[in-house]
Structure 1
């Protein structure tokens, strides 16, 4: 007989956890209620994504630990949704920031060449440029792809996530039409004018979409993340590369989240051959940064476009992009913190985490998926973005988030993602396993 979730039991447990949360965090509640000058009462509106009706407020964060202003300490598996993959306040990065005099002088620093060379070693594309976010890296990579191909559209996969790039906040409608993703705030144009969208792991649909000859680039994560982790079918990624080449379309790997797969993300771990790689947040130890790298062939095409203004107001670049502080932090992070050895350790811990969850949900129609140092449980067994979206369950998310939060463990508020950092311990992982197992047992009886 198929498993049937007892919704009444879930509602009762969720309300219990919400009341516990509110009782434990009076100072955070007061800070939230007293924030009268902020839109939505928070510095950025996504901070309202809280299972407890208001967010806990930060006091300090170090290593794999976060402390809130009510004095509670947490094992942090959220890690800034990968922004703190290096751990919070890693000493090499703190030292680099302290030593860097002159943050934004609009002059290049020698550190940039070291960072570019290290990114080349890891991701195999040879020439790099910097931004402040992965969103900007993706936005600028798209503009460059359109410029050198002379094509107007891009292609993404259903329920992808590439930051707030206008062309990517889309979903797949009936008959393969491109629609604004539900909740898309003020889309500037009908996204069907800019974007084609197909399901992940659907090669036939990809071939049909590219056959129109109007797609400048496929922008993709090698594995979907922000909608659970959806891994590629065997042979899917090599086939994507073959199809894009056949149709004259550039391939962009967005490794911002899939960097968890290893020191060079999925690109290195799976021996992929993109034309462009984009990445952000995690490579500078928590200091804002983004970057995009291109092959030498693509670089030659970019630099041959003499009418494209790459120096002033052509739409690529920003005053703080490539600033000396971000670059110094990136050098310290890549050379001293997120090393090859660190990734090996983090991936081993993620496997232990994944095994613990798998045992706890045995017999349930749920799944847990690992991608290097990152792992996530989902209330279904999805093969593409549409299926993963359909498997979402906000009440279950809130229940598990609050159950763990009230007992000292933080998960990513947007989904059930856990990330390991160099400071995470086996004891941290085992604490989650024990708490998650208890939460499952209370729910399922």
Structure 2
């Protein structure tokens, strides 16, 4: 496409954004005095536009920025607010618990209730995931699981999928170069050791590559999302996850399924929806209704092996834990969110709207002839800049177009629709409406017409 014309389109949207957000601009400028990039975490600088929108209040599937503009939120905190913003049952539980104490390093009754609820949702496989521990982030949950896996198996390496996403876990910042060697992923900051010392990387959906990686006998765990989600949605081939299960059992490695993003597939994520049988499940972000909360669940056999292998005297100094993990406020929020907000009925509503969003995008693509595709996973859907859905993460990455993505996100934002900043993803909440979805479809139609005009004729 005509890149100069794309730049001009982006410049027009930037001017529109700046003119509409003077209050956000002032807040951004004030932030730069004492925060790099003017934001509390550097990745927030990646939002489209010359500064980030500052949120004044958020409720349900909408938020209002400092300039008083209401937005449809299809990002939802990149899954952290999949319950919707400030769901009433969660707010009530938080309010009640905060008055009784926020954290004490001691359990409350909510912890056992949440563990039982998670077992009911995820403990459906033959091996039955039923022993749960709590953290504040899925990153910490993944870290702890990998430590336990290496400790119990006596093996040092982890297998991850090329272009996976598991938070900021060191072992997962690895990819394959053109020769198939394990190297640090582009943009990795301050890697503690060379990536190939800790990690083996295999393409998603490649059973032979996984078999080869496990054949060396030094793999403690295979850590994977049941579908890739942070490089665009990459769905598993029929039988692929069954093959992962069979190979990990054959070679004595733990199968760790990270459901932090794929919880969108239903109340028990892909584990329940697809009948998976993992050794460990990790879930985070969503379960606390916006309050930091995450968990990892193990089979009874693995939980027993962990308990046998860790001395009580050393249980607090081995690299697993956290002073605020499982705190009273997080547990109250998680109990309310799981039992009263993210219910089976809520997921049915969310999936119905994701179908509507997908159909809206596909209708625009068909009408404009843009050679893109749209993929859905439960309550999550995403479009990408290739005609066919990718088979692995490398294919998905090859179709990315950052300048085009930035234009499309800014164009949508100027029309009151927020997408996830790192890719073209929309997520539904229990509070999302058909009107919210249709608002995106209208904005996307306008943007697609503009992009189509940039393509060469003939």
TM range (shorter): over 0.9
Alignment of 1:186-335 (within 5 A): 186-307=190-311, 311-335=315-339
Alignment of 1:79-98 (within 5 A): 79-98=76-95
Task: For residue 365 of structure 1, report the CA deviation from its aligned partner.
Answer: 2.1
Given that 1:64 and 1:77 are in contact with CA atoms closer than 8 Å, whether structure 2 keeps it comes out as yes
Given that 2:226 and 2:257 are in contact with CA atoms closer than 8 Å, whether structure 1 keeps it comes out as yes
1:65 maps to which of 62, 65, 70: 62
Which deviates more from structure 2 when the two are superposed, residues 165-174 or residues 130-139? 165-174
Given that 1:308 and 1:314 are in contact with CA atoms closer than 8 Å, whether structure 2 keeps it comes out as no
Deviations 1:19-38 (A, max 9, x none): 11111111111111122111
- RMSD value over aligned CA atoms? 1.1
Q: Which residue of 1 aligns with 2:402?
A: 394
2:6 maps to which of 4, 7, 10: 10
Deviations 1:353-378 (A, max 9, x none): 00110111123221111010000111
Which deviates more from structure 2 when the two are superposed, residues 360-369 or residues 415-424? 360-369
1:34 and 2:30 are equivalent in the alignment = yes
TM, length-normalised to structure 1:
0.97
Task: Give ranges in structure 2 of 5+ residues lacking alignment.
Answer: 124-128, 454-458
C-alpha distance in 1, partners of 2:353/2:342?
A: 15
Given that 1:310 and 1:316 are in contact with CA atoms closer than 8 Å, whether structure 2 keeps it comes out as no
Q: Which residue of 1 aligns with 2:441?
A: 433
Alignment of 1:94-109 (within 5 A): 94-100=91-97, 101-109=100-108
1:76 and 2:73 are equivalent in the alignment = yes
Q: Which residue of 1 aligns with 2:371?
A: 365
2:159 maps to which of 137, 155, 160: 155
Number of residues of Structure 1 aligned to a counterpart in Structure 2: 441
Given that 1:169 and 1:181 are in contact with CA atoms closer than 8 Å, whether structure 2 keeps it comes out as yes
* Segments ≥4 residues shifted beyond 6 Å: none
Instruction: Give the direction of change, closer, same or farther, for the CA distance of 1:54–1:365 in structure 2 (3 Å limit).
Output: same
C-alpha distance in 2, partners of 1:46/1:7?
A: 25
Which deviates more from structure 2 when the two are superposed, residues 40-49 or residues 418-427? 40-49
Task: For residue 310 of structure 1, report the CA deviation from its aligned partner.
Answer: 6.0
Task: For residue 306 of structure 1, report the CA deviation from its aligned partner.
Answer: 4.0
Task: Give ranges in structure 1 of 5+ residues lacking alignment.
Answer: none
Instruction: Give the direction of change, closer, same or farther, for the CA distance of 1:299–1:310 in structure 2 (3 Å limit).
Output: farther
Q: Which residue of 2 aligns with 1:137?
A: 141
Given that 1:176 and 1:198 are in contact with CA atoms closer than 8 Å, whether structure 2 keeps it comes out as no
TM, length-normalised to structure 2:
0.95
Q: Which residue of 2 aligns with 1:412?
A: 420
C-alpha distance in 1, partners of 2:50/2:235?
A: 32
1:146 maps to which of 121, 146, 150: 150
C-alpha distance in 2, partners of 1:251/1:118?
A: 22
C-alpha distance in 1, partners of 2:143/2:440?
A: 37
